[in-house]
Amino acid sequence: MTRKIPVFFLVFLLFFATARTAEAMHITEGILPFQWFVTWFAVSAPFVGIGMYQVKRKKRTIPSYLPMVGLLGAAVFVFSCFPIPVIALSGMATSHPCGTGMSAVLLGPFVSVLVAAIALLIQALFLAHGGLTTLGGNVFSMGILGSFSGYFAFKMAQRCRLPLFWCGFLAGMISDIFTYLGTSLELGLLVINGGGSFVKATTEIFAAFMMTSQGILCLVEGAVVGFVMVFIYKRRPGILLNLGVIKNEAKSMGT
């Protein structure tokens, strides 16, 4: 099974790489000044490093862990390959589903950051989506904020003893919202050198996302993650148990 995952990933890559046009997505190449792209790389690098360490450690104790990493890596890659232009942002960024809420719940937030970083790197290199100088910033918003917000939303929902569908729904929705809040913060910081208002710029950019496509996409992604969790629970509950997503005594959450 471990040999099949890269094949699926390559098929997805070739499918999107052969598209006629490549619209820039995430934060576009060239948008971030030198000091900011260095800052976001410095912030994101430790999370990616911890994710790599956790993959090496967990694959020794959970036999199905590495195939799951590959499968969810492909899912995050495909999820975030559907750019929807936001006209109000004048080409600085586009909106899209993320998938990091789902990967964070199943793999853990640090490994989800690693998965997002790999997906974003491939998109920047081969699809002209995002960019290399903006990679650190995109990893921060989609990988770090998206993964950790989705993970903690799922855990809080579990503590409130919500059904598994709603735990997954909140994970997907909150992850999506925080991803675009992070992107808005990064773009809002760019106005400081010009004497603009960071709070005003960030609010306007976030509103542009949420009042157009992303307001609907976050609900759709929440529903998708919720249904995926319930589907896995009903068909292969052992996967969720082995990954520590649910416990034996929590099986009543499946409906």
Q: CATH number of the domain at 66, please.
A: 1.10.1760.20
The pLDDT tens digits of the residues spanning 111-167 come to 999 999 999 999 888 877 778 888 999 999 999 999 999 999 999 999 999 999 999
pLDDT at 87: 54
pLDDT at 197 over 60: yes
Indicate whether 175 belongs to any domain. Answer: yes
Instruction: Using pLDDT thresholds of 50, 70 and 90, give the confidence band for residue 210.
Output: confident
Q: What is the mean pLDDT of residues 181-188?
A: 88
Indicate whether 18 belongs to any domain. Answer: no
The domain of 202 spans 31-242
Q: How many CB atoms lie within 10 A of CB 215?
A: 15
Contact 47, 135 (CB under 8 A): no
Q: What is the mean pLDDT of residues 173-189?
A: 90
pLDDT at 11 over 80: no
Dihedrals φ, ψ of 18, to 5°?
-90, 5
Q: What is the mean pLDDT of residues 177-189?
A: 89
pLDDT at 6 over 60: no
pLDDT at 32 over 50: yes
Q: What angle do CA 191, 196, 200 make, to 5 degrees?
A: 90
Number of domains in the chain: 1
Give the three-class secondary structure for 250. helix
Indicate whether 214 belongs to any domain. Answer: yes
Indicate whether 139 belongs to any domain. Answer: yes
pLDDT at 31: 80
Q: What's the rounded Cα separation, in Å, for the pair 23 and 128?
A: 7
pLDDT at 8: 39
pLDDT at 172 over 60: yes
Alpha-carbon dihedral 70, 75, 77, 78, rounded to 10 degrees: 140
The pLDDT tens digits of the residues spanning 56-109 come to 998 888 877 888 899 888 888 887 776 666 555 555 555 667 889 999 999 999
pLDDT at 13 over 70: no
Indicate whether 102 belongs to any domain. Answer: yes
**Secondary-structure breakdown of the chain: helix, strand, coil percentages, each rounded to the nearest 5:** 75, 0, 25
Greater confidence (78 vs 228) lies with: 228
Indicate whether 76 belongs to any domain. Answer: yes
Indicate whether 59 belongs to any domain. Answer: yes
pLDDT at 17 over 70: no
Indicate whether 67 belongs to any domain. Answer: yes
